[in-house]
Structure 1
Amino acid sequence: MVDDNQELLTLLGRLVSGEGWEPLLVNRGKPAIEAIAGQRLDAAIVDVLLPDMMGYEVGACCKNAGVPFVFVTGVFKGPRAAQEAKAQHGAAGYFEKPFDAKALMAAIRALLPAAPAAATPAPAPAPADAPDDFDVEVAVDDEEAEAPADAEPAPTPPPEGALRDNLPDLLAAFYLAQQTGELTVQRGPVRKTVFFEQGLPRFAISNLRSDRLGPFLVRVGKLTEEQLGEAVAIVDATRRRMGEVLVELGHLDPDEKAYYVGQQVKAIIYTLFGWEEGAYRFHFTAARESEEIKLAIHPASLILRGVKRLYRRERLQRLLPDAERLAPSLAPVFPPGEVPLASWEKQLLTRVDGVRTVSELARESGKALDEARGSLYGMLAARILQRA
């Protein structure tokens, strides 16, 4: 499997392992060609645009070695590109990002009829049309010291990888694969999980007491400590959900419940942008149907807002120095119309040309350097931009 998007590559590797196959993951064309020459491979998934060469060269090596392969691409799209990939380069399939990961696995399975087939989970329903996004009204504190005493004692599976400024790429990986499942992020005893349906984040949970609905409502001033204590007593006695109990007590009406649950879930996800270290792992499941209230927010919006609100000044300076030059992305993850930008950010985007530095772009934007840097790095994290 050849792709320079490491998080997407890891996610697809997990899917391949779940089918009973052994993945070999590489992020450049040269080591891919070496693997084709030096190992017995049964099939290949090759990104068309690689950092060191075109994927067509890797495809040619696959063809010469008798290894069936499919292309994936975020750049070369349309029926003509797909036809040429098959007719001229011998690809058995052509998948445009974002693609249906289940369809990709089915295409590989067709190339390997003897491979053991894993049980296929029930297909997730398509998410409903998204209403207007929630707007988190409170600052999210990312300095959470410990998990509560009642945190789940279940053993933690081994991590998929390290969390190192790559949360945006993990969110984008689910989107690119249109995958349903869970992303769990852990730092020390604190564990938070984001649930996805067909690539979109829909819900989140945390083992921190401060992330629960009741304490969240106290923090935003919607509930008093006395009201919370009354509700907690009922919840403990009946094992019902806090939101349901608060509506019954008259502390929330049903519309407020939907609004504040959405606020709470978004706050859980936003805190993860403040984490500069930790570990992550994937878990692929059917859609989480037990939640009556689900987010309707695009991952591009999460990434841009999370970066701008939660990345500290020093972190942004480390990730995007003043002298860095940016260019429009050759392989954008999200279609331009799906990326929410302010009018001044849209104007700033037109000035990104691979020549101007970050400090020059900030000066031309009329905004403070820190504010402009946050927006530019948000666009870089969302893969609207790339480093020149």
Structure 2
Amino acid sequence: MIRRMLDMSSEGDSKNILLVDDDPNIRRFLSESLRLHGYKVHSFEEADAALKALDNHDFDLALLDILLPGTNGLQLCRKLRALPKTSELPVIMMTAFYKQADHIRDAREQYGATDYLLKPFPLKTLHEKIEALIGAPTATPGSARLSIQGELSETSLPRILHNLYSLRATGLLHMENEDIKKVIYIRNGYPIFARSNLVREFLGQILVRTGTLSEENMEKSLEVARENGQRHGMALIEMGLITPHQLNDILRNQVLEKLLDIFSWPDGKYRFIQAREFKQGVTSIDLSPANLILQGLREHASRDQVLKMLEPHLDHYLQQAENPLYRFQEIQLSAGEQRIMASCQGKTTLREILKQFLLSRKEAEPLLATLLSTGILEGRVEPEMASDDSPCDEAEDIRTRRESFLKDYAWMMEQDYFTLLGVSESDPRDQIRKSYYSLVKQYHPDRFFEQDVLPDLKDKVNALFQRISDAHETLSDATAKARYVSDRKEGAPRSTTSLETILQAETAFQKGIVLFRGKRYDEAQKAFAEALELSPNEAEYIMYQTWSAYKSNANATDVIINTRKHLMRAIELNPKLSLAYLYLGYICKDEGNEKEAQRRFERAIQCNPNCTEALRELRLMSMRKGKAGKEKKGLFGKMFS
């Protein structure tokens, strides 16, 4: 049965919007948001029902998803253009798959689309586009906040999280299962925090359950927290039962545990309430929706829940979607999961893939459910046509890709933002966005790291993508763009670095790394200096050359000053260079400045949680503080005994 939602609360001359999307949750989110802004919305899940509605209604704008069952959104747009009644109707297409400029151009020229929205998009962007096309709503916008609710038996948690990410939503997602109540904080589509009424998920209970805290100390710390009117975590720190670093890790794990537990619910209710922002100070987790969904399905959901998600796709041919905005999410896959994902080339159905990995179904089923629910994989009715290209030698392919990337990197990192994106100062924001997505599809880190290609160039890949993103962010904002244009040095000469120079620099750098690991710091310093001479603005080169010089002569005052200066320069070029913070921490520690050293080590861990050297230093600091506290307590005990 075709589900149709028609909002009748706004009467009179309200502007009418035709909304067509086969995802019921997306329809509900968009309908409610538009209604609250004063529009009247007629919502349908497929094209034929939408066309029939033209007999009884006049519309001011159509909002169409491209991927519709049966007649797709582009075909529907063409049919609207062929009807006299809707030949001039503004049409906005929504898509997560048609990113390239030629796709967008085709949507406009061949099918008659007026504008487009690339998923995921903020609701604010949608309202701005609609208002630009048909003006502000004539009805008075509602004062209530957007609120959507439903049953988990109808819409799974992975689907809800996917939809919130698609709309870059910010708000509170209330979850309820009998007496259990939880609230998930969503910021720009990402789950960042959670509250729960389950006693076993309280901080003290988690610490006792993991053996970090005894029952007796938990009770004492709760009493101290109540007496001082403070949070339990701060009381635990003041009592010396845990360190601030431990508390931060524990709180993040606590939030994650609260979130993952919801994946085990077979049913329940949900309600999302839109908000602008949250109070400061909540402990945020750093986990993409895709990674959270995978972890939840893999470790907490029942097999019946997972199979229910897979059932509609069993006879579809699975293929990795041409959809960068979902594949950009970092998703941690095991070697087995990578093999499963690599088998999805559009030539095999889901049913066949599950048979192929029958012995590892516990791994395959939640993985495929995650990839399908997040749009990383798509199911197609027909198989992908076989390619006539003959396979090339893997080593030669990697060498070619390496040289190609380094050549692009050398040129792109030295260009101004306009040249980098291939736009002019007069180009509109839409053109800037098109150019950005074209570059993103080619240079996003996922493209290089999904199959462990070019791992030694990870920092360069990330640096290039960051520059592309900075260019887009700056030129998309009118104020920032004007400031950038003003600050540019007119006529400043651009240096160009040849591929040969880049390769020479990388060769010298790799030689330096080998020497550095062998603690041959004098020789390593010379190799890094050679790399720096060829490429003077590489953060990694600066950091390693500086630290090699320091290790060669750590006692010289001028060396210490220069080391600090150059490490800060490396951080300026690459703020996520964890080893630079680690080395600064070592210097502060040698100078006796433990407070600053601790701050640097903690920053290193924030940049790279696997920075074992920084973790070791923080543990040693904690042990020293604990020992000093005991000695101080003992001394005072003797004085007053």
- Fold shared per TM-score above 0.5: yes
Change (3 A) 1:158 1:113: closer
1:6 aligned onto 2:24: yes
Aligned to 2:415: none
Change (3 A) 1:237 1:119: same
1:265 aligned onto 2:283: no
The one-letter amino acid paired with 2:373 is: A
1:96 aligned onto 2:118: yes
Is contact 2:288–2:329 with CA below 8 Å preserved after alignment? no
Is contact 1:331–1:383 with CA below 8 Å preserved after alignment? no
Residue of 143, 150, 170 corresponding to 1:161: 150
Task: Report the alpha carbon displacement of residue 17 of structure 1 after superposing the two structures with TM.
Answer: 2.7
The one-letter amino acid paired with 2:343 is: R
Change (3 A) 1:108 1:62: farther
Aligned to 1:328: 319
Is contact 2:121–2:166 with CA below 8 Å preserved after alignment? yes
Aligned to 2:136: 113
Aligned to 2:360: 368
Partners of 1:105 and 1:375 in 2: CA distance: 35
TM-score (norm 2): 0.51
Q: Which one is further off, 105-114 or 185-194?
A: 105-114
The one-letter amino acid paired with 1:379 is: L
Partners of 1:248 and 1:349 in 2: CA distance: 48
Task: Report the alpha carbon displacement of residue 61 of structure 1 after superposing the two structures with TM.
Answer: 4.8
Change (3 A) 1:221 1:60: same
Structure possessing the higher radius of gyration over alpha carbons: 2
Residue of 21, 33, 45 corresponding to 2:39: 21
Q: Which one is further off, 305-314 or 360-369?
A: 360-369
Task: Report the alpha carbon displacement of residue 385 of structure 1 after superposing the two structures with TM.
Answer: 3.0
The one-letter amino acid paired with 1:74 is: A
Residue of 201, 219, 238 corresponding to 1:211: 201
Any idea what SS the aligned residue of 1:24 has?
A: strand
Partners of 1:13 and 1:351 in 2: CA distance: 38
Task: Report the alpha carbon displacement of residue 86 of structure 1 after superposing the two structures with TM.
Answer: 3.5
Task: Report the alpha carbon displacement of residue 261 of structure 1 after superposing the two structures with TM.
Answer: 0.7
Q: Which one is further off, 296-305 or 97-106?
A: 97-106
Aligned to 2:236: 246
1:183 aligned onto 2:173: yes
Task: Report the alpha carbon displacement of residue 354 of structure 1 after superposing the two structures with TM.
Answer: 5.8
The one-letter amino acid paired with 2:370 is: G
Change (3 A) 1:3 1:159: closer
Aligned to 2:334: 342
Change (3 A) 1:195 1:369: same
The one-letter amino acid paired with 1:341 is: L
Any idea what SS the aligned residue of 2:248 has?
A: helix
- Percent identity, aligned pairs only? 25
Change (3 A) 1:358 1:71: closer
Task: Report the alpha carbon displacement of residue 267 of structure 1 after superposing the two structures with TM.
Answer: 0.7
Any idea what SS the aligned residue of 1:25 has?
A: strand
Q: Which one is further off, 331-340 or 158-167?
A: 331-340
Structure of higher RCO (CA pairs closer than 8 Å, 6+ residues apart):
1
Any idea what SS the aligned residue of 1:20 has?
A: coil
The one-letter amino acid paired with 1:113 is: A
Aligned to 1:171: 161
Is contact 2:147–2:273 with CA below 8 Å preserved after alignment? no
1:302 aligned onto 2:324: no
Aligned to 2:192: 202
Q: CA RMSD in A?
A: 3.0
Partners of 1:13 and 1:73 in 2: CA distance: 17
Is contact 2:63–2:93 with CA below 8 Å preserved after alignment? yes
The one-letter amino acid paired with 1:96 is: L
Partners of 1:317 and 1:84 in 2: CA distance: 38
Task: Report the alpha carbon displacement of residue 360 of structure 1 after superposing the two structures with TM.
Answer: 4.7
TM-score (norm 1): 0.81
Change (3 A) 1:17 1:246: farther
More helix by share: 2
The one-letter amino acid paired with 1:51 is: P
Residue of 235, 246, 257 corresponding to 2:225: 235
Cα displacement string for residues 105-163 of structure 1 (whole angstroms, at most 9, x for unaligned residues): 11123324243356799xxxxxxxxxxxxxxxxxxxxxxxxxxxxxxxxxxx9961111
The one-letter amino acid paired with 1:381 is: S
